[in-house]
Homo-oligomer: A and B are copies of this chain.
Amino acid sequence: MSSKITWPVPDPAAPPEAHPALVSAALSAARAYGEARAEHTRGELAESSRTGADGTATMRVDELVEGAIADTARRHRVNLLSEEVGFVDNASALTMVVDPVDGSNNAASGVPLSCFAGVMVEDGVPTEALTCWLDTGRCWHAIVGEDTAYRTSGRTELDGAALGLLRPHPEIGRSWWHLAERAERVRVLGTTCLEAALVAEGSFDAFVDPGNDAHRIVDLAAALVMVPAAGGVVRDVFDRPLEIDTDLTRRWSGVVAATPELAERIIETVRG
């Protein structure tokens, strides 16, 4: 009964000032995803044949999109650090840190919530980030040290907040539910990069992994640039340093929040 996803994938509306390698990578990702949807059924997009560099199964949709991005990185002569392939050395001081398809399950099933997210890193230091919502072409861009057009909500209190939460895993049920009870609104979109972008622009007050250690650095790298530029913070529930590392098996429980105060309230609640 598995069918194709019929809606087309638009080219991303990346801003002209973004780094050419990021713009090309986002465009390649969107086109490869569009072709994958046209050629494969939902079931085929979700099939996995191997384990990626991050230690999780690689879906066909991830593989096809990452392949297109790897070609782009080679053409632009920048290194690549990506979910499935790991670190690809193209002999550059610049590395593009990428989540090719954030929200792979959504992307494979046709839930229109999946993103390309890329960060330029120069000698280990992030310089700019681009997140593109693949299903709509909408993009968020930020450069370290420069103001962005969007601002977080500025909220400091957890009670009454609008939260994006990681999906409810049984192991973290208690802290998940504590957050849900204190929040005014809860959403579970299944795409960290889009949820972080919604925090950056003030539509969510925060996005939280309540202790499940589901986040790899590729999931959080764009937020590390974009959210502070908009007035917010990115932290780990267990206060481990968030750093770009080529070891993609490392995990964090990310808290992306409108303000440092709100992040603190959330972390207290999860640690309970």
> A residues touching B (Cβ–Cβ < 8 Å)?
1-3, 5-7, 42, 105-106, 109-112, 135-136, 138, 149-155, 162, 167-168, 170, 173, 177, 180-181, 185-190, 198, 201-204
Q: Are A6 and B150 in contact (CB under 8 A)?
A: yes
Report the bound CA distance from A170 to B112 in whole Å: 28
Report the bound CA distance from A182 to B190 in whole Å: 17
Q: Are A198 and B110 in contact (CB under 8 A)?
A: yes
Contacts of A181 in B (CB 8 A): 170
Cross-chain pairs A/B with CB under 8 angstroms, 22 sampled: A1-B151, A1-B152, A1-B154, A1-B155, A2-B202, A3-B150, A3-B202, A105-B185, A109-B162, A109-B203, A109-B204, A110-B201, A110-B202, A111-B187, A111-B204, A112-B138, A135-B136, A167-B187, A168-B180, A185-B190, A187-B190, A188-B189
Report the bound CA distance from A155 to B2 in whole Å: 10
Complex: chain B residue closest to A203, CB-CB = B110
Q: Are A202 and B42 in contact (CB under 8 A)?
A: yes
Contacts of A189 in B (CB 8 A): 187-189
Q: A168-B186, A187-B188, A189-B189 are in contact. Are A149 and B1 (CB under 8 A)?
A: no
Report the bound CA distance from A190 to B110 in whole Å: 17
User: How many of these chains are in the complex?
Assistant: 2
Q: Are B153 and A1 in contact (CB under 8 A)?
A: yes
Report the bound CA distance from A105 to B205 in whole Å: 13
Q: Are B149 and A6 in contact (CB under 8 A)?
A: yes
Complex: chain B residue closest to A170, CB-CB = B181
Report the bound CA distance from A151 to B4 in whole Å: 10
A199 to chain B, nearest CB (A): 11
